[in-house]
Amino acid sequence: MSTKWIYFFGNGQTDGQAGNRNLVGGKGANLAEMVELNIPVPAGFTITTEVCNEFYNNNQQWPAGLREQLQENLVKVEEAMGAKFGDTNNPLLLSVRSGARVSMPGMMDTVLNLGLNDRTVQGLIAKSNNPRFGWDSYRRFIQMYADVVMGVEHQLFEAVLTGMREKRGVESDSDLTAEDLQQVVEQYKAIVVDSAGKMFPDDPMEQLEGAINAVFLSWNNPRAIRYRQMNDIPGDWGTAVNVQAMVFGNMGPNSGTGVAFTRNPSTGENEFYGEYLMDAQGEDVVAGIRTPQPISTLAETKPHIYQQLVDIYKLLESHYKDMQDIEFTIQEDKLYMLQTRSGKRTAAAAVKIAVDMYKEGLIDKKTAVMRVDPKQLDQLLHKTIDPQAKLDVIGRGLPASPGAAVGRLVFFAEDAEEWASREEPVILVRSETSPEDIGGMDAAVGILTSRGGMTSHAAVVARGMGKCCVAGCTDAHINEEKKILTINGHQFQEGDWITLNGTTGEVIAGQVDLIEPELTGDFGTLMGWADEIRRLEIRTNADTPHDSQVARDFGAEGIGLCRTEHMFFDAERINIVRKMILAPDQAGREAALAQLLPMQRSDFIEIFRTMKGLPVTVRLLDPPLHEFLPHHDLQELAQSMSISVERLETIVDDLRELNPMLGHRGVRLGVTYPEIYAMQARAIFEATAELAKEGQTVIPEIMIPLVGVLPELELMKKVCVNVAQQVQEETGIRFEYKIGTMIEVPRACIVADRIAQEADFFSFGTNDLTQMTFGYSRDDAGNFLPIYIEQGVLEKDPFQTLDQLGVGEFVKIGVERGRSTKPQLKIGICGEHGGDPDSIDFFHRVGLDYVSCSPFRVPVARLAAAQAQIRSEQ
Amino acid sequence: MSTKWIYFFGNGQTDGQAGNRNLVGGKGANLAEMVELNIPVPAGFTITTEVCNEFYNNNQQWPAGLREQLQENLVKVEEAMGAKFGDTNNPLLLSVRSGARVSMPGMMDTVLNLGLNDRTVQGLIAKSNNPRFGWDSYRRFIQMYADVVMGVEHQLFEAVLTGMREKRGVESDSDLTAEDLQQVVEQYKAIVVDSAGKMFPDDPMEQLEGAINAVFLSWNNPRAIRYRQMNDIPGDWGTAVNVQAMVFGNMGPNSGTGVAFTRNPSTGENEFYGEYLMDAQGEDVVAGIRTPQPISTLAETKPHIYQQLVDIYKLLESHYKDMQDIEFTIQEDKLYMLQTRSGKRTAAAAVKIAVDMYKEGLIDKKTAVMRVDPKQLDQLLHKTIDPQAKLDVIGRGLPASPGAAVGRLVFFAEDAEEWASREEPVILVRSETSPEDIGGMDAAVGILTSRGGMTSHAAVVARGMGKCCVAGCTDAHINEEKKILTINGHQFQEGDWITLNGTTGEVIAGQVDLIEPELTGDFGTLMGWADEIRRLEIRTNADTPHDSQVARDFGAEGIGLCRTEHMFFDAERINIVRKMILAPDQAGREAALAQLLPMQRSDFIEIFRTMKGLPVTVRLLDPPLHEFLPHHDLQELAQSMSISVERLETIVDDLRELNPMLGHRGVRLGVTYPEIYAMQARAIFEATAELAKEGQTVIPEIMIPLVGVLPELELMKKVCVNVAQQVQEETGIRFEYKIGTMIEVPRACIVADRIAQEADFFSFGTNDLTQMTFGYSRDDAGNFLPIYIEQGVLEKDPFQTLDQLGVGEFVKIGVERGRSTKPQLKIGICGEHGGDPDSIDFFHRVGLDYVSCSPFRVPVARLAAAQAQIRSEQ
């Protein structure tokens, strides 16, 4: 028996290929599946992926037997459709489409309306009683076929159409008459001869063979190869070719076409939802010239067909166990299903459908959990712009922190605080923010910056606060002195209204209506399931009692990163901090630190109280001291410090660094000024003792940042242990505590086995680790990262989604070496990647114990962690 | 038979321990070795390292049999020395010293003059006929023993001495009389009772046991533990204890003491060289109160002893096959050798001695090559300060580039060039240099900066130029406006004379005489041997024909790093470069680049000509564009560019980066502005074609900097290959070329297997790799690195000597993964570490093909590479 190269589907029959994606590709398997469900599908057949491989292995020749099998299957399609390929009275027209194992949308070629020539077009006209339709179909076929199969440039045909429109004085192709289009066909044929050097093929079989070959060849076009490289699809999978009968919804009043969803894709309501047009093609629905009817009206006009559709959609949903997006055509009162696939939906709909389907017994909990894209959840957690609103979008930046905000423009952090104290909603606009702006950022409803990337200061802080932020809007020009913001020619002054969409990066003039987030019961149900399933613990990055409370409400199980530097920027503290920095000796520093101690202690007391015994990881001071000094107006500070401006300038200048990211910060501060870390440790331990008096046990986790060599950790651990002993003796209260480190310089990963000797836990700081692994400053990368992504040098922004190949390898090495010393070492991650679903999947796979992310990402992380667990079980 | 715990040496006899360092430690093995050579050594014995381990394993108790063996050996020493331990007439005194397998200088404890008490001191006085000597020895013994064995604070004894001096109204201890010292002894004993709570031990045996235990205990003092950690010495090696008879050179006119070298340690001349003092102790020679005699005079005063010394030194030299540094004491006309060890020597002496000893047949070539410390070679290659000169050292910075320079102060690069054009030697002083200063640095004879570390711009460029540089002299305060330099209160104006010592970091007021370097024939001979032996190829980092020629003269076998950015700073070019940077579009940039092309081409033609076919690796543009723009005086530039100052300010501001080291530089420039790399590639290939016309074959190696992801290299390779094809077509000349990459971001090491797919060679850029591995900016690390090294957080400055544990691991990974793709991949290193001997040893071990260093380091690298090869054969 010769090899079977072609599989038929139609009339309720198949050759048994349903679901065999490797052989007949995804599309072919799916069409056969519908046929086996007895759903009416235009008949057709699939040429297997094996033929594609034979074709390439055999000098682009067809394998023996293929031509015969093609003839046999054509006959079966003709019988099923009651029409004949190449017939002048009742012609069968075909579509020829690619179909790989996995969808490669738009990468390969398609030919429609195949089988038309000067004779068969007359049959189509007679059948449809529509000469314009006949000639339009014919000219479209020539255009598509000549482009795809014969390599004739598309633009040549467009020029003919344009010429004809001008000649007729009409604006749209739809205003051209049947006669016009007939002339166009003649001109098209002339172009083909000119350009391809041969006649357009007249013989339908020749057309078919050419189209099949074109699909095979398109498997190896550069676009498809690049797509496969990016998606790890092997080149030897090959593509199948689907040849299927064309059906037409524009053959008169008993024909029509429509699209529908098996549930409401906006709300998730379990209702049949869609629209249709009679006497129309799919493209008419899209073009919007005629207004489609709601699907429900079909129940009145064509009750029989409506009932058939309802039966089909229910069948499909129960078969695929998911909400389906379906396309159908009615040709002369006969219903054909053209496609079914999982339907796209809003986050709210995704949650409701998943929970409903579980309740309906269609799917289990794990499947339900897999059905919601964690990336979408943001939509549910923030205010959003009313989709009905008309928007005057004047510029675009990076979608740095999701949600939407409406407020009045202010240019300085102090102004933001002042206006906000008058209950004015304000949008703070800055070229870039610095830690000095924290108060103003907190007071604002949204933040706009003209520089900086997705992990710039503004973006990171705003996400931490769950506050809308558009960052790096390079079109925004800010004149601070005159308080004028100019974006693409639009000028705004202080107090003008503006709207930001932090989810899209849009900057919108004026006030726009916003929609409040609703966390429905279904949301809570789904999150509960996620919590049952996931292995990863989810913590949060929070520096204030307020953020801690928000994160707890979102389900955080502890604080993975409590940054202490933000606490130093409070108005009443910053001057003490500066006094400490400017002190000429250790005694002077210690005096200032003694003033800070009670403040830091009360910070921790409040945070510990809020977290009610959940673990809290406190990172000791990290940024370079320069960040705490003013950049201008030194006069005032000098006066308050009783030193000369010149002296102050010298100190400020000495502290300035060429590359502060790689400078005197993190544990380097701790080693050179151990009194700073000692004060912070004391504040933490005294707060712990205080809570103990209140009857609450806290086991604080002190985290030393930026460790790269073991002795750094040894020294700082000694400082902390000493302070702990002192506090225990002073208070008479025993408490436990942990001392660990951030793993964020590449060297720390390499020597993690040594560092683990002294560490109770590791927390990967993947922001800095990414910066140093690539050698990218996240504050400066805006000048080349967008170009890198556009040119495919990088697939994704590594500050948003972990670079698994590079940075991820460091994480792996760090985990392996750390646990080679301490098999039970607790390891987490507290960079921005802790809230990114793809990265969370990776962290799950390499065996981390927890991820920590900003409060508003906690639900995203809970869901992503559950999905990672489910994926790893498969 | 019970275990042998003690080994005797003396009177020409040993127990067979000579050379058995593991058992009796280095010192014990060495003393036994001298005894076996029949050299007179004060008799003694060694308690083995095994006893030390027994001591610790057995609750600090002595093992069985030790006490008996101690008695037996004491008797042997008494017999050999003709004196008796504890005897009141003829007392034997002992020294008790530690002795580990390897020398741990100063880490453990020593006790001298052991055996003295109120009775034996009288015997010593009688024997020496010197009461003052007797009492002084006694009080020294109490002080040392009480400190080391009984834990009494040293200061308490000092206070007694001070009190006695005040009471007697004398300035120096040597002015105290025997009676004074006798009183001191009484007071010392009182202090011991007060402080230790018990009497000072009177019994010599009790003294001896205490001292032995103290030496064992000192093996585990914190200082010794730390030293072992730093030097990878296992804690279970233990220390031996050497107990040896004391001999005295101050027992009258027939006693004396001296030190000598078997060859001249300054010049290497083969002559007996040293000095001695009669009736003196070793410390008298050191104290400088009396002037020692040249050793040759001993031939007249004590011909017999002199001849004995000559015989001994010749014996020792032929035994150890190296120049020896010996100490001897004559006690009552009897010669004792106290120590012999390899003598320290100048670089010139080291070279001469090594070559001479080879010629004398004492050592082979490899041994000769191992005898010269590559780090010393610098002394031979640069001008040095006349050791006779009186120096007014006014400040100290980092020894950033070796050699010495005398010149007149200038404050600006332009001034340096102008003064130099008048043949004035100038020293350029800047707070820190930038690429704009290159011309001035080249014109200056030396460079002084107040900021920046060993790898700051000034330091790197100066070393590249072989020019003296003192960097980071933090005491130097520069007032550019008034052209005044202030160092520790000394003020200098423009034109004042100043001298720099780049080898020590000293800044010296006024003009000092310098000595010219002499590359003797012996130097060339030794380098020739090194070249025969080494496997590593030695290249140089050179950007100019002049540097290339210097490096060739020093033996460089190619250029490993030709930086192209320095070529852009030439006065006639910088404005074209700026025009390129400020161009609004690609066309504008290309127009400016077209002007630069002939200049770059002529640069390469000259360098290729100089290198006469040796390989030249050219690195395409690396620094961020901002470095080429002026920092102030934008007015002039704006005018010459015909744009407004505001516009120029905006551009300059847009190009400014927060962390330029991690910014828009290296291949990131190439990807975003491919026209720049295309111009550079064209200049290289056109130069190659030009040389081909001259009959010289050049195979240029184009190096793409800062690659972290494969597509970067792919894209840039395409650009270069295209240009190469064009140039070959245009000129009709075929040529070969290579395209490789620098491996300098940590990610590149991790994905080296991928990058190797497109690379013809790798060159590790260990400067940047060190910065990113540690997260240290070399420009800013000066604020904490010195503290880190002082506190032992880091052993060495990782920018000077490769951090093998961290950065070295990345190099290893990069080599392994790169060669997993291409087993023959050529791999080198072109960071500053390429000239550091320890780092070169590492690079040899991990299998690199070459190292590239600044021209003046080439001889250092040649020697170090040979030594690495010899070490790896052992």
Alpha carbon of B808: minimum distance to chain A alpha carbons (Å): 10
CB contact under 8 A, A659 and B660: yes
pLDDT at A295: 93
C-alpha B239/C-alpha B219 separation (Å) is 7
Q: What percent of chain A has pLDDT over 90?
A: 74
- Which residues in B lie closer than 8 A to residue A672 (C-beta atoms)? 783-784, 787
The answer, for A657 touching chain B at a CB cutoff of 8 Å, is: yes
The answer on pLDDT for B633 being more than 80 is: no
pLDDT in tens, B410-443: 999 999 999 988 889 999 999 988 877 888 998 9
DSSP string, A219-248: TTSHHHHHHHHHTT--GGG-EEEEEEE---
3-class DSSP state for residue A526?
Answer: helix
Residue found under tokens 């987030």: A517
Amino acid identity of B333? Answer: D
What does the DSSP 8-state code read for residue B201? P
CB contact under 8 A, A807 and B659: no
* Residue B518: per-residue pLDDT: 67
Q: Which of A658, A706, A776 sits opposite B777 (nearest CB)?
A: A658
What is the pLDDT at residue B5?
96
- Interface residue A840 vs chain B (CB under 8 A): no
Q: Which of A659, A717, A766, A796 to mutate to test the interface with B (most CBs of B within 10 A)?
A: A659
Residue B784, chain A, CB below 8 Å: the answer is yes
The answer to whether B661 faces chain A, any CB pair under 8 Å, is yes
**Could you tell me the pLDDT band of residue B286, with boundaries at 50, 70 and 90?**
low
Alpha-carbon gap, residue A837 to A796, rounded angstroms:
14
* Distance of residue A776 Cα from the nearest chain B Cα, in angstroms: 5
> Is residue B199 within 8 Å of residue B186, measured between CB atoms?
no
Nearest CA in chain B to A777: B662
The residue of chain A nearest to residue B229, with distances taken between CA atoms, is A711
Name the residue facing B715 among A750, A781, A793 (closest C-beta). Answer: A793
- Chain B: give the shortest CA distance to residue A809, in Å: 7
Taking the CA of residue A748 and the nearest CA in chain B, the distance in Å comes to 8
In terms of Cα–Cα distance, which of B451, B429, B431 is closest to B441?
Answer: B429
Q: Any chain A CB within 8 A of the CB of B193?
A: no
The stretch B45-73 carries a mean pLDDT of: 95
Q: Check A661 against B794: CB less than 8 A apart.
A: no
3-state secondary structure of A16: coil
Q: Which residues pair with B470 in a beta bridge?
A: B399, B448
B720 is catalytic: no
Strand partners for A498: A407, A509
Three-class SS of residue A488?
Answer: coil
In angstroms and rounded to an integer, the radius of gyration of the C-alpha atoms of chain A is: 33
- For A785, the enclosing helix (H) or strand (E) is helix A785-790
Distance of alpha carbon B123 from alpha carbon B113, whole angstroms: 13
Cross-chain residue pair A793–B712, CB shorter than 8 Å: yes
Each residue of B715-727: pLDDT tens digit? Answer: 999 999 999 999 9
Instruction: Report the C-alpha gap between A699 and A688 in whole angstroms.
Output: 8
CB-based contact (8 Å) between A791 and chain B? Answer: yes
* Averaged pLDDT score across all residues of chain A: 92
Query: Quick check: A806 contacting B, CB < 8 Å?
Result: yes
Instruction: Tell me, yes or no, if A535 comes closer than 8 A to chain B by beta carbon.
Output: no
Cβ <8 Å between A747 and B671: no
Q: How far apart are CA A725 and CA A732, in angstroms?
A: 10
Cβ-defined contact of B773 to A709 (cutoff 8 Å): no
Asked whether the beta carbons of residue B663 and residue A777 sit closer than 8 angstroms, the reply is yes
Residues contacting residue B462 through CB under 8 Å, at least 6 positions apart: B400, B401, B441, B447, B468, B469, B471, B502
Which among A662, A712, A803 has CB closest to B780?
A: A662
- Contact A659/B712, CB-based, under 8 Å? no
At residue B272, what are phi and psi to the nearest 5 degrees? -75, 130
Task: Residue B225: list chain A partners with CB under 8 A.
Answer: none
The pTM of this model reads 0.82
Beta-strand relationship, B404-410 and B426-430: parallel
- pLDDT for the residue B727: 98
Tokens of B313: 């030194």
Pairwise CB contact (< 8 Å): A658 & B780: yes
Return d(Cα B730, Cα B717) in angstroms, integer: 20
User: How many whole angstroms separate alpha carbon A727 and alpha carbon A721?
Assistant: 10
Does the structure show a pLDDT above 60 at B674? yes
Chain B residues within 8 A of A712 when measuring between CB atoms: 793
A708 touches chain B (CB under 8 A): yes
Residue B450 carries which DSSP code?
S
Do the Cβ atoms of A661 and B657 come within 8 Å? no
The mean pLDDT of B140-160, rounded to a whole number, is: 93
A745 — contact with chain B (CB < 8 Å)? yes
The answer to whether B457 is a known catalytic residue is yes
CA distance readout (Å), A50 to A47, A160, A221, A338: 8, 40, 18, 25
The list of chain A residues with pLDDT below 50 reads none
Say which of A750, A779, A791 has its CB closest to residue B659: A779
Q: Give the active site residue among B52, B382, B457, B853.
A: B457
Q: Do B709 and A773 touch (CB under 8 A)?
A: no
Cα dihedral A850/A851/A854/A857 (nearest 10): -100
* Chain B positions in Cβ-Cβ contact with residue A792 (cut-off 8 Å): 711
A771 touches chain B (CB under 8 A): yes
Report d(CA B757, CA A306) in Å as an integer: 60
Do A582 and A641 form a contact (C-beta atoms < 8 A)? yes
Which residues of chain A make contact with B788, given a CB cutoff of 8 A? Answer: 668, 671
Max Cα-Cα span within chain B:
103
CB A441 within 8 A of CB A462: yes
CB contact under 8 A, B750 and A711: no
Cα gap B504→B47, rounded to integer Å: 43
Neighbour count for residue A714 (Cβ, 10 Å): 14
Measured between alpha carbons, how far is residue B761 from residues A812, B674, B698 in Å?
A: 28, 21, 17
All residues of chain B having their beta carbon less than 8 Å from the beta carbon of residue A658 are: 660-661, 777, 779-780
Contact A784 B664 (CB under 8 A): yes
Residue range B316-337: mean pLDDT, rounded? 94
DSSP state of A451: S
Q: Is the pLDDT of residue B520 over 70?
A: no
Residues B813-863: pLDDT tens digits? 999 999 999 999 999 999 889 999 999 999 999 999 999 999 989 999 999
B649 or B202: which carries more pLDDT confidence? Answer: B202
Residue B453 pLDDT level (bands cut at 50, 70, 90): confident
Record: contact B806-A668, CB cut-off 8 A: no
Is the pLDDT at B287 greater than 80? The verdict is no
Distance to chain B for A401, nearest Cα, Å = 22
Nearest one of A100, A101, A83 to A92, comparing CA atoms = A83
Write out chain A residues lying below 8 Å of B663, CB-based.
777, 780-781, 783
A780 with B809: Cβ contact below 8 A: no
* Residue pairs between chains A and B whose CB atoms are closer than 8 Å: 170
- Residue A827 near residue A849, CB atoms below 8 Å: yes
- Whether B663 sits inside 8 A of A744 (CB atoms) is no
Beta carbons of A775 and B773 less than 8 Å apart: no
pLDDT for the residue B783: 85
Q: What's the mean pLDDT in B189-194?
A: 95
Asked if residue B686 has pLDDT above 90, the reply is yes
Q: Does the CB of B715 have a partner CB in chain A at under 8 Å?
A: yes
Among A830, A833, A844, A853, the active-site one is: A830
